Structure 1
Amino acid sequence: MRKAFSYRADPSVPDFPDDHPILIFDGNCVLCSGFVNFLLRADKKRRFRFLSAQSSLGSALFRHYGLVSQDYESNILLEKGMIRIKSDGSLRAIEILGFPWSMACAARIAPRLFRDWLYDYIARNRLNWFSIRNSCYAPDPSHADRFLG
């Protein structure tokens, strides 16, 4: 586990605004883009920022945290300088939305080992099950200010 905001001292990670939770997602994955669209619709307070893992900043953050870039089998939720990955990241993102979405966090009663096994299973198969985008996800212009990179 790295210290909060450790990426700020990493010369390979460009400076970026990190005052809001940031979801780093696979911009070529239809399922991942669908999760981003859900968050955009449900996040009425516009808390989240988004970043494609394929961007130079997204790839730098994947490398900084020792995650395999080019694989992108996990979203990264970056909040207050700390990351959450796999089921913890997704559940925390939903929790940030507030009620009623935060009720989904009852899934935390399941052991992390099981939750992450299920997350990994879906992540490994997501491109076959849900397809792959021909181009990286592009936000609706009304949400462009919420995307980094």
Structure 2
Amino acid sequence: MSQSSVILFDGVCNLCCGWIRFLIRRDKKAAFTFVALQSDTGMTLLETVDLKAENLTSSNINTIVYIKNNQSFIESEAVLEILTNLGGIWRIFGVLRLIPLSLRDRIYRYIAAKRYSLFGKRTSCFLPTPENEKRFSL
């Protein structure tokens, strides 16, 4: 699998799965590959990116991870980097980088910690539709 633009997401989180569906509909160039954190591929990829500084492992990860050209982004920076790379009108969200990273990540972590209670949790991992299956690595 090419690691040029890979998004690792929580495959049982309704908010996260909604975010992935949002991206699929808008990513007309099919630039992103999607991997559930719970999958074998997701766990393997987590081991290859430098998350040690963040003290994250596959068992305690509470963030989306965006890998682009062997560089990894997490939390709010991952979301903003994804939107910027999505292109078009979505690049406007890059202006949110004017907000200090510590504040953005504090908000991100609050939502991440409450995501199951606010948006619900699936009983099984998100499965792509047949037409989008090639965009996922399971």
Do both proteins adopt the same fold according to a TM-score greater than 0.5, normalized to the shorter chain? yes
Counterpart position of 1:123: 112
Superposition deviation, residue 69 in structure 1:
1.7
Counterpart position of 1:101: 90
Kindly tell me the number of residue pairs found equivalent between the two proteins.
133
Please state which structure has a larger fraction of its residues in helix: 2
Quick one: higher RCO (CA 8 Å, sep 6+), 1 or 2?
2
Task: Choose which of 109, 113, 131 in structure 2 pairs with 1:142.
Answer: 131
- Identity, % of aligned positions: 33
Q: Are 1:84 and 2:73 an aligned pair?
A: yes
Counterpart position of 2:46: 62
Counterpart position of 1:111: 100
Equivalent position SS for 1:83? strand
Where in structure 1 do 4 or more consecutive aligned residues deviate above 6 Å? Answer: none
Amino acid at match of 1:87: S
Per-residue CA shift, 1:98-122, capped at 9, x if unaligned? Answer: 1201101111110000000000000
What runs of 5+ residues in structure 2 fail to find an aligned partner?
A: none
Per-residue CA shift, 1:61-110, capped at 9, x if unaligned? Answer: 33443323233310100000110000011100011111201101111110
Equivalent position SS for 1:100? helix
Equivalent position SS for 1:121? helix
Q: TM-score, normalised by structure 1?
A: 0.85
Does the 8 A contact of 1:53 with 1:59 survive in 2? yes
Q: Compute the RMSD of aligned alpha carbons.
A: 1.2
